[in-house]
Structure 1
Amino acid sequence: MAQPDYILYAQHGWADVDRGIGQLAKQVASPNARVVVPNLGFLNTWIRIAPLIDRVEAIAQQTQAQHAPTPIRIVGHSMGGLIWLEVLARHPEWWPLVESLVLVASPVGGADLSRMIDPLSLGIGIARDLGTNRRAIAEKIAAEVPTLIIAGNYDAGSDGIVPVECTKFHRASYVEINNINHARMKQHPAVASIIQQFWQNTSCLCVPEPIESYCDKVIRHLQNIPGITDAHYRGFTRSEVWAYLPHHLVLRTWRSRLNIHHVFLSNSMGDCLFAGFVGWPHTEELYQSLAQIRAHSYHLERDGCK
């Protein structure tokens, strides 16, 4: 068997099969690539993620044994990206072989839809797995592996399913595409073009700087609030100012009809930089954290820190 140029693993996500992501793989793969597109089964994606991770890991182990030490490229759509984060976390010895990890519309910070289904974290089926925050895993991998995030902004800060905010994490390149919904992201030519561009030169896209700015630190603090879930932007226009922060940043809050409390961070131009919400059990912790951010901002202003 001839040695392939690289092995391309392409993984579908929740409530899906391999057809769509398989078409994307065909668009981006070179003629001499070995393309592996596991079909995990539509019904299986509704149960739990652990067996799916095990299955993809087993397929990858068998493929790697057949073609060692061939370079690896990975494309995961939605939950498929989460599966591959977990597989790579189990196999750091593969990281030097991974030329590219591309996460297409993957809810790395935890899917808001899942947390709405399971607001009390009772462990309701796949909802608990999709609602898990995997940013720590993703950032550790992205520090060693060229990583690209592709998010869709189709509906007020989301692709109709996954908010753009929950796709983001530090140390990865980030590209946002307008007017493409979640289902179309897995096979759209625009997504294929971005992937190919990234493969040609992994430094050609915007690679975020290390966390240094005050805005980055505030967002990190918000992301670490217990029970926080990245949200759509649509509640931003109904929010009210909660606190003014240094560097012309503004904390804003909004409470929905279901008494769900949202928090937003904006700049002086009125752009929403972060959107999130907490379930009922974490409301008090939300406002405790906001008070900490506000208190810290007072110290910065008192000390003259810019």
Structure 2
Amino acid sequence: MPFPPDYILYAQHGWADINQGIGQLAKTVASPTARVIVPNLGFVNTWIRIEPLIDRVEAIAQQTQAEHPNTPLRIVGHSMGGLIWLEVLARHPEWWPLVESLVLVASPVGGADLGRLVDPLELGIGIAKDLGRNRRALAERIAAEVPTLIIASDYRQGSDGVVPVECTKFNRASYISVPNIAHARMKKHPAVAEIIQQFWQSRDHLCLPQPVESGCDRVIRQLQAIPGITDARYKGFEESQLWSLLPHGLVLRTWQNRMGIHHVFLANYAGDCLFAGFVGWPHTSDLYRALLMLKDSYSIGSVFE
């Protein structure tokens, strides 16, 4: 009778992808006695809807858990693969005590901006609706019980070229940013593998205490609470117009792209962009209503006064 694995490693690829790249990462980080599960969901299937993909990963995990009911789990998801595993874990909270580690690599937990740009009216166009959904509340609920690590990259304009850095973030998880790695390379990059192995060896040096919330953090949270908003890359920041001055050396700026989609940027007085987001057409009035309320809640005036 073979020895049971010391843990089961699930590694999941994302949108417009197959399992080859994430499979290389899994082989790099896994121990010789681990059982490695790397489902291939099919390139075409990842363009349609996420629900059948969740069902398939869930079925694979259920079968594996039936074979090894008490074996610890480690999970790595790249891009949409991380979102799939958030949904699988939401269906199976009984697995949470077994999960030693959940690593989300370049996963748009706050909602993918590309998905929202494809579907600005929220009509449910293919996978765009699923990728544009905000899953922060779910991720934070899981991270409160499961050791969770976020790995993101600022490749250009505040994103890895596909996923904005800000939309990968949520509370209760450890966070690491690696510079100059494009989205597609994140799933198999040696730097990402090294970070995962470090996290597994000692989570203490990565799980830093939650810092005291700064004025900038508070404004970002208020912006992220605007109905229909999606975290975005910094494109359009240079063309944006001043909307309001805020305390703590902060500035709100706005911009409208050629499709008539309205963006908001938070910057400092030095001109560094600290946050970017946009809303679909149905939520344009919500955006400006919220910005007016935000401006009025601070004592420093607006350019319109």
Query: Is the structural similarity TM-score above 0.5?
Result: yes
- The residue correspondences of 1:1-306 to structure 2 (distance < 5 A) are 1-205=2-206, 207=208, 209=210, 212-298=213-299
Closer, same or farther in 2 for the Cα pair 1:207/1:268, shift >3 Å? farther
C-alpha contact 1:111 1:166 (8 A) present in aligned 2 = yes
Matched letter for residue 250 of structure 1: V
Instruction: Output the CA distance in 2 between the equivalents of 1:146 and 1:210.
Output: 18
Deviations, residues 104-151 of structure 1 (Å, cap 9, x unaligned)? 111111111111111101111111111111111011111111111111
C-alpha contact 1:5 1:33 (8 A) present in aligned 2 = yes
Matched letter for residue 290 of structure 1: L
CA drift of 1:175 comes to: 1.3
Aligned CA RMSD, in angstroms, stands at: 1.7
Secondary structure at the residue paired with 2:277?
Answer: strand
Between 1:81-90 and 1:148-157, the stretch displaced more is 148-157
TM-score scaled by structure 1? Answer: 0.93
Closer, same or farther in 2 for the Cα pair 1:255/1:206, shift >3 Å? farther
Secondary structure at the residue paired with 1:56?
Answer: helix
Q: 5+ residue gaps in structure 2?
A: 301-305
TM-score scaled by structure 2? Answer: 0.93
Deviations, residues 10-48 of structure 1 (Å, cap 9, x unaligned)? 001111111110000001001111111111111111111
CA drift of 1:211 comes to: 7.1
Secondary structure at the residue paired with 1:283?
Answer: helix
Instruction: Output the CA distance in 2 between the equivalents of 1:80 and 1:231.
Output: 20
C-alpha contact 1:120 1:279 (8 A) present in aligned 2 = yes
Structure number with the higher helix fraction is 1
Closer, same or farther in 2 for the Cα pair 1:150/1:87, shift >3 Å? same
Closer, same or farther in 2 for the Cα pair 1:223/1:85, shift >3 Å? same
Secondary structure at the residue paired with 1:236?
Answer: coil
Instruction: Output the CA distance in 2 between the equivalents of 1:210 and 1:155.
Output: 26
